[in-house]
Amino acid sequence: MSFATIIGIIGGIGLFVGAILLSTDNFLMFLDLPSFIMVIGGTFAATFVSYEPRYVMLALKLISRLVFAPKVARNILTAEVGRIIKWGYTVQKNGIPALEAESKKAARADRFIGFGMDMVISGYTGQEVREILTNTIETTFVRNTIQAKILKDIAATLPAFGMIGTLIGLIIMLDGMGGDPAELGAGLAVALLTTLYGVIFARMIFLPAANKIQQREEIVRFRNYLVAEGLCLLADRKSPRFIQDRMNSFLDPAIHYNLDKMMKNK
């Protein structure tokens, strides 16, 4: 679970609701179905016009997955270096064909690594592996960040429909100016609440979700480049020590893989 995400959601909503409860006893005045329908309904109508339904649904599903921990963390990056170094020793002792068993295991757990390992075993040069994996990484990143773009567009559209609702509410209010003044409240509530709903949904849900999805995909892309570099070095039959130093150059010094320390522990 991503406890930071959960705490952020609960904290944000809790502080907002708490501020309302401290300010007024009539908190139900902040609940208005017509305002909600205008903002959310209008926003999603515009979104489905702008994008294919499949991608919109995928984007909405990703929001619920943000409460789970990301697949790639700092310790995993160090472990990836160790795994490539282990394969480097295998190549050093028995040659590249000896990686075939490892390739099958890796492919079951991670398609990207399995794809790269297959190229190494097939005899591709390091430069050829690098070119193909770079293309794979970038095209995958573009595909996976479409959902983040959709959520950012939703966040940008919500305040606009909030403003549309405000205009509608003001028109209703002005139309009733010549009648019972008590009826003006309904139009004014719609006018103000639609703007409030638009800003809250945009800034507390959709924009933060889009930013986190984008960040996680960037981390996955970085990890893939790290692994791709290691596979290129395997293809070029570089020594485990060289592999360590080259892959460590991608990482924060605090999480560098230390081959000497690992050998001592064994």
Task: Return the structure tokens found at 109.
Answer: 């757990």
pLDDT band at 178 (very low <50, low <70, confident <90, very high): low
pTM (2 decimals)? 0.86
pLDDT digits (tens, 9 = 90+) for 114-150: 999 999 999 999 999 999 999 999 999 999 999 999 9
Contact (Cβ atoms closer than 8 angstroms) between residue 205 and residue 5: no
Q: Give the residue among 187, 201, 195 at the shortest CA–CA distance from 63.
A: 201
pLDDT class of 86 with cuts at 50, 70, 90: very high
Percent of the chain with pLDDT over 70: 93
pLDDT band per the 50, 70, 90 thresholds, residue 21? confident
Q: Where are the domains of the chain?
A: 75-143+226-265
